[in-house]
Amino acid sequence: IILDYLVEYPFQYNVVILDVDAIIEQEPVLFEEIPTEYDIALHYLDWEKWYGHSPGVKELLTGTMMLRNRPQVKAMCEEWYRKAKKTQQWEQKILEEIIGNYSLKIFELPIEYIYIDTLPNGSKPRISDENVVIRHFQASRTWKRKIPILDILKKRDEERTKKSQN
């Protein structure tokens, strides 16, 4: 879907992506302030600060991202899409694996732009939520095994192929 948007709207320079469960609690002004030399904005979750363990572990999160509609960003999204289609691996992990293959300048969003309301065990995070801009509720924890997303993507691609052949 992200790649489709970048291709379909080439003159839309900045594309902000939020998970479906996100709630915008404050005006997300930072997106307008990110210097133009950055290609992508996202957050790396610091496990030590968030969970209280695993010092040095940082996890790329995709619930809130901003992409500049540039050739190198499209190329990354194409690879991301291809790999996600071929594997059962979590899309977030795929992006984490491939992002280093591209010469992208990454702006790290603050936690307030991707604040996750609960930990996987249901408890509150260790970091305060008093200045949250975008809050996430991790609906994917409930739904990711119930919605066959790869089947949906495959069907969509088959329909596109049929249309292009006609």
pLDDT band at 161 (very low <50, low <70, confident <90, very high): confident
pTM metric for this prediction:
0.79
The average pLDDT across 7-30 equals 89
Of 23, 29, 164, 3, nearest in space to 83 by CA: 3
Give domain 2-155's CATH number out of 3.90.550.10, 3.30.300.30, 3.60.130.10, 3.40.50.300: 3.90.550.10
pLDDT of 40 higher than 70:
yes
| Residue of higher predicted confidence among 2 and 113 | 113
CA distance 116 to 92: 15
Per residue in 45-56, pLDDT (tens digit) is 999 999 999 999
pLDDT (0 to 100) of residue 6: 85
pLDDT (0 to 100) of residue 155: 66
pLDDT (0 to 100) of residue 88: 79
pLDDT of 153 higher than 60:
no
Average the pLDDT over each of 12-16, 46-50, 145-149 and give the range with the smallest value: 145-149
pLDDT (0 to 100) of residue 132: 96
Each domain of the chain, given as residue ranges in start order, spans 2-155
pLDDT (0 to 100) of residue 146: 42
pLDDT of 12 higher than 80:
no
Q: In the numeric block, which tokens belong to residue 40? A: 């992508």
pLDDT (0 to 100) of residue 151: 56
Of 38, 62, 47, nearest in space to 134 by CA: 62
Amino acid at residue number 7: V
